[in-house]
Structure 1
Amino acid sequence: MKYIKSKTYATGFLHAFCLGASLLIVSDAWAQTKVFRAGAAISNITPRIGSSINGSMQDITITGIHDETRAGALVLDDGTTRLVIVVSDLCMVSREILDAAKQRAQSVTKIPVERMMMSATHTHSAGTACSVFQSDPDADYTKFLTERIADAVIRANNNLAPARIGWGVGHESSQVFNRRWRMKPGAAMPNPFGTEDKVKMNPGVGNPDLLEPAGPIDPEIPVISVQTPEGRPVALLANYSLHYVGGTGKGEVSADYYGMFAERMQQLLHSDGPVPAGPGPDFVAMMSNGTSGNINNIDFGGEKPKPAQPYEKMRAVANVVAAEAYKVYQTIEYRDWISLDARQTEISLGVRKPDAQALKRATDIVASAKGPNMVSREEIYARETTLIKEYPDQVAIILQAFRLGDLAITAIPCEVFVEIGLELKERSPFKPTFTISLANGYNGYLPTPEHHRLGGYETWRARSSYLEVDASPKITKTLYDLLSKLKAAQP
């Protein structure tokens, strides 16, 4: 009996051991068969000649097309989760348009809208997709945009195929400058509301009253690259904390340096030699806008630049930034598979509405204006004051955090000050982390409370700047919470 018991025990142990070993083998085989997929596509979103350009305090009619504007889409799939990133050549785009585009894309692809991150580049020479200052989007272009942005997602999803992914971070400080300056004591800095500011935006190159920039810069250029398993480029997504460059022909549509960056990356990646053979859609490059709310391309503390021809400056910027992105691209180590995750939430923020005294002053200025269009700064901001009066006391905004392996992307629907982006990078549990601004809607500038106290253009109450003074710390806290949740759930 003793022998029988021992034999039974040994046999059971052997069966358990074999079962465990089999499970390990199956588990290893499953891990080895995990497939990462990606797809990319482009939609043309160029507005028609005769419609309005968004990006000026005065309405500008489109008279020509210098280069087409696009909506680029990237879909990533780890086998369980699919994420969508769309970057459109627009100055800004309303939440209503993007919500409708997401719903249409979801109805076809079945990707939840919470896993779609859609942003504008902030070119100031594109079609009007948001009501700011004199320009309002027309119904035809709104419908067109909704369909074309959704089409980009649907086509990218249709293009899903096995892929590998990698990333790196470059640095290019020569093209970014803080545009808000502290001035010498006694320098006049009036604002449109009858008071004085403590800093000046775009004070002029060589201004004798310049003291020092009122903030830092962010020179980083994060680069995400997607290839087929054979090495054929599929997509590249970069991010740079630089406002538009400008310098277009009169009334001409252009994607600014964002579009020229994409064009240059196309040239550089295909100059490496023959692209590995294989069927598939064309390569898609995208430049997203980082935290550039107080950053532009003008070195106010330097020498006056020589006059430039239209498009000359933006192409020069695109070439410099693309050269650095290409250096990063050449060093990227690719992964055959990464896990993906996303978090989204909606928060309510207060609106800085005018008091009775400010409203009366604004109403008087508008009433005394000579024509239907407001021309002077005082008239323009007086009209904005009367419009903000009709806004709700609270507005809801979408905040997102995406995780791609060990990389994180946060999304904010504002023109975000660079200090906010730098803080998110510093506090994030993921390295690298970067922020895409003007994402999932448009809610104006996002200065820090400290910058609100300094005043300046970006803080002037208007449809381009109306969120409560404490909006940025509330947004930063929320995004950090989302990043922490992503970290806790990371496999």
Structure 2
Amino acid sequence: MKKAILNFQIRNKVSSFFKKRRLCYSLVLILTSTSINAQNELPKIFRAGAATSNITPKIGTSINGNMQDATVRQIHDDTYARCIVLDDGQTRLAILTADLCMIYREEVDEAKLRANQITGIPVGNIMMSATHTHSGGTACSLFQSDPDKDYLKFLRERLADAVVRANNNLAPARIGWAVGKEPGQVFNRRWKMKPGKPLMNPFGKEDQVKMNPGIANPDLLEPAGPTDPGLPVISIQTPEGRPIALLANYSLHYVGGTGAGEVSADYYGMFVDRMKELLAPNDKQHPPFVAMMSNGTSGNINNVNWSAAKAPPPAALYSRMREVAEAVAAEAHKTYQNIKYQNWISLSSAQKEIALGVRLPDKEEIERAKEIIAKAQGPVMNTMEEIYARETMLMKDYPKQVSVLLQAFRLGDLAITAAPFEIFVEIGLDIKARSPFKPTFTTSLANGYNGYLPTPEHHALGGYETWRARSSYLEIGASTRVTKVLFELLRKLKNEQP
């Protein structure tokens, strides 16, 4: 009996010992797990950096943006590539704008690859777009302008440098955005005209609309489309509130009004200068504050009020540009005051390459073009018929399809879509209205150049933006296919959003 009692007491002590050990072990596991979780839940840090690179062309090289080539004679104001790099701790995105009318896909791809090799930012996470100034260096053959090979090499290096320098400037930051509205600087430039006078195009066929029909023209009927006055503004600051960078987007083609042969960043550059005056007037910091503007969906939008009762008096060179820049900057500054900042947001990107058909000239059109060119005085084509005949001959050997890159970025709850076209405003408005992200805006002339992107309805109306040339050559249904893919990318980003 005593032995049984003794055994029971021993078993109890052993059991109690192991229970205590298990309890201690459990406590160690809990504490270890808590320590690991604490390490995994360290505060998330959002970083941003911004920088510029000078891309001003040499005197004596080409300026495109017109039906005939021009030569750089003077630099009114330097042109730049401007870049913002954002980093959420896992993903880095680079957004770059360049003061160019447009730029080849090949140059952009090489610049992205060089930036990737130096910074490690994935090529698919880099967005590069042209602002569409018509007074910058030529980076793409269009009408009678061709780029200088040395300038293209220079551009590839300088675009990449802007990304690298912005990446080097990464520092803790906060970000916010708001959307303003400036309706006074945008007008649809395609007009329906009163019946009675045929609108003949350079191909000997009749259009239903006229681009830039003339102020106070008695035959004006109504604009052939809407405008988009929206002005999204993204602001990036240090955690203490010092401005790092600002990105705006506005759907205005360009303004113009430069001196002959003078290089200028147009109103985009003047907007940047004005935002610096408003937000960082005595900017002595390093790195300096960077403002930039991307071109929205402005393929059929310009700055002339065609329905005005009478034409305004001739404006001094650059004065209209400055008026537009100051009006848009004033609204951007007002919008800036309402921005609420976040210390951290998640970032993501998506892109897809698609093939689009090309509207090639037929045998009859080619023969007609040959006859027109044979009668021209040349080598410079002067009349619209001659210019488009030349384009027809250049288009006859184009491939039946071209590959285009479509892209979308997500910055928290904001989205940016990007495509390599001069996009019609109806397309941008549709994307804004139906996007799963609010706000959403579209950047035109991004990641290459494939001409105008009218809707099928606008193709039916005709007009300059639909005339087949290297500036407008995609299949009639291209915009429908492009929009479909952009919505696919937006949905993908939405589904992947944390």
- Which residue matches 2:452? 445
Residue 127 (structure 1) aligned with residue 137 (structure 2): yes
- Counterpart for residue 4 of structure 2: none
So what's the TM-score if we normalise by structure 2? Answer: 0.94
Say which SS state the counterpart of residue 150 (structure 1) adopts: helix
Q: Hey, what's the Cα distance between the residues in 1 that align with 2:496 and 2:475?
A: 32
SS in 1 for 2:446: coil
Structure-2 residue corresponding to 1:337: 344
CA deviation digits over 1:372-402, x for unaligned, max 9?
A: 1111000000110111111100000000000
Q: How does 1:276-287 map to 2 (within 5 A)?
A: 280-287=286-293
Match of 1:172 in 2: 182
Output the CA distance in 2 between the equivalents of 1:292 and 1:18. 64
Aligned partner of 2:3 in structure 1 is none
Paired position in structure 2 for 1:323: 330
Q: Does 1:294 align with 2:304?
A: no
Change in Cα spacing, 1:30 to 1:50, as seen in structure 2 (3 Å) is same
Query: 1:257-272, aligned counterparts within 5 Å?
Result: 257-271=267-281
Deviations 1:427-472 (A, max 9, x none): 1100000000000000000000000000000000000000100000
Change (3 A) 1:415 1:20: farther
Q: 1:60 aligns with which of 62, 70, 73?
A: 70
1:428 corresponds in structure 2 to: 435
- Residues 13, 323 of structure 1: CA spacing in aligned structure 2 closer, same or farther, 3 A cutoff? farther
C-alpha distance in structure 2 between counterparts of 1:256 and 1:228, whole Å: 30
Find the aligned partners of 2:271 and 2:468 in 1 and give their Cα distance.
Answer: 33
The worse-fitting range, judged by mean Cα deviation, of 15-24 and 437-446 is: 15-24
Q: Which residue of 1 aligns with 2:494?
A: 487
Tell me the equivalent position of 1:47. Answer: 57
Q: Name the CA shift for 1:4/1:436 in 2 (closer, same or farther; >3 Å).
A: farther
In the aligned structure 2, how far is the partner of 1:5 from the partner of 1:241? 78
TM-score (norm 1): 0.95
Q: Secondary structure at the match of 1:334?
A: strand
Partner of residue 308, structure 1:
315
Letter in 1 for 2:160: A
**1:87 and 2:105 are equivalent in the alignment:** no
Match of 1:247 in 2: 257
SS, match of residue 38 in structure 1: strand
Tell me the CA shift for residue 185 of structure 1. Answer: 1.0
Inter-CA distance 10–331: structure 2 relative to 1 (3 Å threshold): farther
Residue 110 of structure 1, CA deviation: 1.2
Structure 2: distance between partners of 1:480 and 1:182: 31
Note the C-alpha offset of 1:270: 2.3
Is 1:368 paired with 2:379?
Answer: no
Counterpart selection for 2:467 from 450, 454, 460: 460
Q: Deviations over 1:324-353 (max 9, x none)?
A: 001111111111111000001100000000
1:376-415 pair list within 5 angstroms: 376-415=383-422
The structure having more radius of gyration, on CA atoms, is 2
The one-letter code matched in structure 2 to 1:167 is W
Q: Structure 1 residue 360: deviation in Å?
A: 1.0
User: Residues 158 and 361 (structure 1 numbering): CA distance in 2 closer, same or farther, change over 3 Å?
Assistant: same
Change (3 A) 1:450 1:27: farther
For 1:7 and 1:329, how far apart are their aligned partners in 2? 67
Instruction: Name the counterpart of 1:418.
Output: 425
**Where does residue 34 of structure 1 map in the other structure?**
44
What aligned pairs does 1:101-180 form with structure 2 within 5 A after superposition?
101-180=111-190
What CA distance in whole angstroms lies between the structure 2 residues aligned with 1:334 and 1:10?
Answer: 51
Q: Which amino acid aligns with 1:466?
A: Y
Which segment drifts farther, 236-245 or 363-372?
363-372
Query: Relative to 1, partners in 2 of residues 1:19 and 1:144: Cα closer, same or farther, differing over 3 Å?
Result: same
Name 1:359's counterpart in structure 2.
Answer: 366
Deviation of residue 187 (structure 1)? 2.6
Output the amino acid matched with 2:387. I
- Change in CA separation of 1:15 and 1:174 when aligned onto 2, cut-off 3 Å: farther
| Separation (CA, whole Å) in 2 of partners of 1:351 and 1:431 | 34
Q: 1:301 to 1:110 in 2, by over 3 A?
A: same
Q: Which amino acid aligns with 1:182?
A: K
Q: Separation in 1 of the partners of 2:256 and 2:270?
A: 12
1:12 Cα deviation after fit: 6.8
Alpha-carbon separation, structure 2, partners of 1:449 and 1:258: 30
Q: What is the identity percentage for the equivalent residue pairs of Structure 1 and Structure 2? A: 66
Deviations 1:42-88 (A, max 9, x none): 00000011111110110111110100000001111111111011100
Structure 1 position 8, deviation (Å):
8.2
Return the letter of the residue paired with 2:395: I
Q: Name the structure 2 match of 1:348.
A: 355
Q: Deviations over 1:99-135 (max 9, x none)?
A: 1111111111111111110000000000000010000
- 1:368 positional shift: 1.6
Change (3 A) 1:16 1:450: farther
SS in 2 for 1:229: coil
Quickly say closer, same or farther: Cα 1:6–1:443, change in 2 above 3 A. Answer: farther
For 1:197 and 1:487, how far apart are their aligned partners in 2?
41
Aligned to 1:186: 196
Question: RMSD of the TM alignment (CA)?
Answer: 2.0
CA distance in 2, matches of 1:410, 1:186: 42
Following superposition, the deviation at residue 15 of structure 1 comes to 7.1
Deviations 1:210-251 (A, max 9, x none): 010000111000011111112111110000000100000111
Stretches of structure 1 that go unaligned for 5 or more consecutive residues are none
Distance 1:467 1:21 in 2: 64
- Displacement of 1:5 in angstroms is 8.8
Contact 2:427-2:455 within 8 A present in 1 as well: yes
Mapped to 2, the partners of 1:161 and 1:107 lie a distance apart of 21
| Number of aligned residues | 487
**CA shift for structure 1 position 20:** 6.4
* Cα deviation 1:301-346 (Å, max 9, x = unaligned): 1131221100000000000000000111111111111100000110
Task: Say which SS state the counterpart of residue 127 (structure 1) adopts.
Answer: coil
3-state SS, counterpart of residue 224 of structure 1: strand
Distance in 2 (alpha carbons) for counterparts of 1:200 and 1:18:
79
1:474 matched to 2:481? The reply is yes
Residues 1:69 and 2:79 aligned together:
yes
